[in-house]
Structure 1
Amino acid sequence: MVRLLVVDDEEDIREAVAEVLHREGFVVETARDGEQALEKATAARVYSAILLDLMMPRMDGWQFRERQRADPTIAGIPVIIVSATVPDRIDADAVLPKPFDAEDLVRTVRSVVAARAAPVA
């Protein structure tokens, strides 16, 4: 089972992304900001990937990544940055600039999940 966490402060975007991914057979949970995402990720849940917006109130995507990398229980969860503003350098497994279409979203998620599931030679 592939479980995803979609993190975005804009409810319309968060729910639209979750709906597309759910239709593709993924189990999807959502969070409205980095703080809520951190709470969910550190609770006894295992995510195959986190789709993370960068620009959010309370705890933004950069702050979330700092906290995630510092916590060995969640540091290994792949992150896909989904943001209208993408800096030149960002520590992520993939970047999906907004706006994007459903095909790009699904292709990116599948690619990241497959890369993490592939055995290391």
Structure 2
Amino acid sequence: MANTIHITASDNQVILTAYVWGNSYQIADIKSGNSNPVNVTINLKQGQYTGPLSLDGVDTPLSGTYNVYLAPGQYTLVGTGINWGGPQSFAVSLNGAALKTQYSNPEEGVVWASVPTKLQQ
């Protein structure tokens, strides 16, 4: 399993989930806002699930490269964006390709959802 997720915008919260038939695993919970820059890379690696990467950049910029481990399997990745109010922005890529938007809404609450995308095995 060699997959790289790159997050460059999360206003206000991006939740990434990988799922297989019968179970799901939270990959990341990235919070940001107040015009703080986001430049976070997540390497998905094969191994025992290590739990989600949780970062809070509401009051500070976010950057860095992190590893999250998943047991072997045929996973699908989906992203959800939550806006707490005011401007919103979401930018997530998987292996260099932007996640396509399945749903977007200019209001508050769940305002962005990506098209489910298969992870490489």
Does the TM-score normalized on the shorter chain lie above 0.5?
Answer: no
More strand by share: 2
The structure whose residues are more often helix, as a share, is 1
Give the structure-1-normalised TM-score: 0.32
Higher relative contact order (CA 8 A, sep 6+): 2
TM-score normalized with structure 2 length: 0.32
